[in-house]
Chains A and B, each alone.
Chain A
Amino acid sequence: MKFQLKETTLNILKPGDKGKIKSFNDIDLSAKLQELGCVPGEWISVEKIAPLGDPMMIKIENSFISLRKKEAEEIVISIKED
């Protein structure tokens, strides 16, 4: 079965959604996130969104990372489109 890949940014994902990191729109942010293991090609999943809507918590490999929606907006990911 073939599925289509759709490009979007991390901030619009809901808890439970998964995506593959494609690129970063902000160079400083990319350096910060990449040293944590969020390198292009890795799968990340959204775990939680804080009760007041911001920040969000993502999971990559074995670790959980929290970041603000504004920062998530700079992360381009590809998701499966159904």
Chain B
Amino acid sequence: MKEVSKKIALIGNPNCGKSTLFNILTGLQQQVGNYPGVTVDRKTGKFSSTAGKEIFITDLPGTYSLFPKSIDEQIALQVLLDKNDISHPDLVLIVADASNLKRSLYLATQVIELGFSAIFVLNMTDISESKGIEINTTALSEYLGCEVVKMNARKAEGIEELKNLIEKPLNNALKKFLNHEFVIGEKNEDKFSFSELVLNFEKKFNFYSNDKVSQNEYFKKAISEESILRYRLLTDAIPKFVSKIKIDTSDTTKKIDHVLLHPVWGSLVFLAVLLFVFQVVFSFSEYPMQLIESLFSKATSLFKDYFPDGILKDLFADGIIAGISGIVVFIPQIALLFAFISILEDTGYMARVGFLTDRIMKPFGLNGRSVIPLVSGVACAVPAIMGTRTIANYKERILTVFVTPLMSCSARLPVYTLLSSLMIPENKYIFIFNERALLLVMFYLIGFVAALLVALVLKFIVKSKEKSYFIMEMPSYKMPRWNNVFLTMFEKVKVFLFDAGKVIIAISIILWWLSSFGPPQQMMKIESEYETKMALQPQHQDSLMSIMNSKKLESSYAGIAGKFIEPVISPLGFDWKMGIALITSFAAREVFVGTMATIYSVSDMEDVRSIRQKMADEKNRDTGEKVYTTATCLSLMFFYAFALQCMSTVAVVYRETKSKIWPFLQFISFGALAWIISFAVYHLVK
């Protein structure tokens, strides 16, 4: 391990190409960690300088100034000010968008004025040059008192020069731009210079807080004054190093927006994009998912053939391998959704999605950017919840995370299909519509409406430290960078596998244990009974085996739990057999079908027809009435629509909110909601 010779931090406005530069410098040598107490990701990495020294680099959250307006911006400032933070830099790389120089200089002069050694990275020079803007770097360097390097991060131009500059000894020029004293208080008690203003503000206040601290107002006035003064300063200074050599009238972004934000064409394109996202996550990922599933089932059977019988074998085959398979199977959906999200972000279209849909989502306490996660939630809540990172406002993000599992995901589909086929005979039509299909569509709608309504309720309950502004920059349209797309996919899959994966494996093992173990005496009795039977009637071995498995499941701890919860679920029309399925479904909702197969001793789990037949024939022991009546089936469907029966969702909510409270609240409140609605449905229909 080489010794870290220098720590640097990247700071810059959002969309200035900061992350592209970070990706080029670090490649796969990057890591995602946490800042204590917040959900902001700490992106760090390493690279070697030209002389082979190791450089530690942190990509700070994008910010416009050193007066934070959000938690992300607060983190950027904290890292700069806290000397004990592991990312605290020796050298700051200020990344600037050359076509938006004034705003970049606003932040740059603030950072330099705090006394940091800095390099000013003038990025996106190709765009500014095409607009006819010429920047004299020597004059700019003189003005800023630090090195200036021209760069085009997308084409990796200027990287070598930057690496050489990083090697140079540090220079704290301590340049002062703003010679102004800010008055805090009624009677001129405190007079602060700019850096004193930053330090004092950071310690006591923040902008996104709604706290009404008396002095806060003075600070806010001073900060407002600061931006006016500094911009005035820059307006005067910029002609010294910028010349416009031609007047550019063709604005590509404006032209594209003319179509993409058009009331008719814009809406059509937006719907097409939504449909495409849906298609990508829903169908395209199906083939690799099936491949993964079949590979794992082959691996399991191979393992079962070669490994000696015993608990260890069962633990590996049915607990651990099944758990890993349950995690790996998500990779195609996560990778594809994030490829798509990062293309949308990169091109600048994601900001337009927010612009187009904000009016619809705002009344529900959601954000225009909640749309993509919600729509992908129809395929699977897991990648969808990971996709909420693009929502900047904390409250709007939490609300989106919270309600996304209500969207009807693809794992509910097998459950709905099985239950609706028990209620409605095949080929029954209302006009030209198949009744089963109509019921299915209804459940998709119920999911969507429930998500919006729950968000509406939460809007009034969740307290936020941030104010909900919708002021955001609309970045210019750009081509996506495939390197970024690939790295985003890679990083998201990695985070899911290692962070959420741990929880999923643990729950998977618990579920395996619950359904394969029971009071030993009971289990042994069943085994010996059926082993004798099988020895006597070897020709019926298969059917005896499945009856034995059914009996074993009934006596297992899961079976006991199913019977134990029967009093709670019988008002919904459920018996203990369904209780078992509710418990095992926690692995994934579609496990309902497999559990039904085991309970009704159907040896082939794929044979949905015979499962359905057995369920349809099921009679109540006491009354002799059918168990799977329309009321019960509907009640079950509603239960599956609302209850959070998915360990992967719980794990990913835990990872994304960095708190145990949110998944817990979600689990409890959705469970209660499911119970109440199923209860009402069961009694209304009965």
Residues of A within 8 A of B (CB): 24, 27-37, 39-40, 47-48, 50-55, 57, 61-68, 71
CB contact under 8 A between A63 and B359, given known A31-B69, A34-B228, A51-B267? no
Given contacts A29-B471, A51-B263, A54-B359, 17 further A-B contacts (CB under 8 A): A27-B224, A31-B67, A31-B220, A31-B223, A35-B69, A36-B473, A47-B254, A50-B358, A51-B262, A57-B474, A64-B257, A66-B355, A66-B471, A66-B473, A67-B471, A68-B470, A71-B469
Q: Is the interface of B mostly helix, strand, loop or mixed?
A: helix
Chain B residues touching A, range: 35 or more
Do A34 and B471 touch across chains, with their CB atoms under 8 A apart? no
Q: Which of B454-492 contact A (CB under 8 A)?
A: 467, 469-474, 476
Contacts of B333 in A (CB 8 A): none
Against A, the Cβ 8 Å flags (1 = close, 0 = not) of B92-107 are 0000000110110010
Q: Is the interface of A mostly helix, strand, loop or mixed?
A: mixed
Other-chain contact of A71, B221, B471, B476 (Cβ < 8 Å): B471
Q: Which of B212-267 contact A (CB under 8 A)?
A: 217, 220-221, 223-224, 227-228, 231-232, 253-254, 257, 261-263, 266-267
Ordered by A's residue number, 29 sampled pairs between the chains whose C-beta atoms are within 8 Å are: A29-B469, A31-B69, A31-B227, A32-B69, A34-B224, A34-B231, A35-B65, A36-B64, A36-B473, A37-B231, A39-B227, A47-B257, A50-B359, A51-B267, A51-B356, A57-B257, A57-B355, A57-B474, A61-B100, A61-B102, A63-B473, A63-B474, A65-B471, A65-B473, A66-B351, A66-B354, A66-B471, A67-B471, A68-B358
Do A37 and B106 touch across chains, with their CB atoms under 8 A apart? yes
Do B267 and A30 touch across chains, with their CB atoms under 8 A apart? no
Other-chain contact of A64, B223, B253, B470 (Cβ < 8 Å): B253
Contacts of A30 in B (CB 8 A): 224
Contacts of B473 in A (CB 8 A): 36, 63-66
Q: How far, in angstroms, from A73 to B220 measured CA to CA in the complex? A: 20
Q: How far, in angstroms, from A63 to B355 measured CA to CA in the complex? A: 15
Is residue B360 contacting chain A, with contact meaning CB distance below 8 A? yes
Which residue of A has the minimal Cβ distance to B210? A28
Contacts of A53 in B (CB 8 A): 359
Name the residue among A31, A35, A71 with the largest chain B CB count within 10 angstroms: A35
Contacts of A57 in B (CB 8 A): 257, 261, 355, 474
Q: How far, in angstroms, from A61 to B234 measured CA to CA in the complex? A: 13
Against A, the Cβ 8 Å flags (1 = close, 0 = not) of B57-79 are 00000001101010000000000
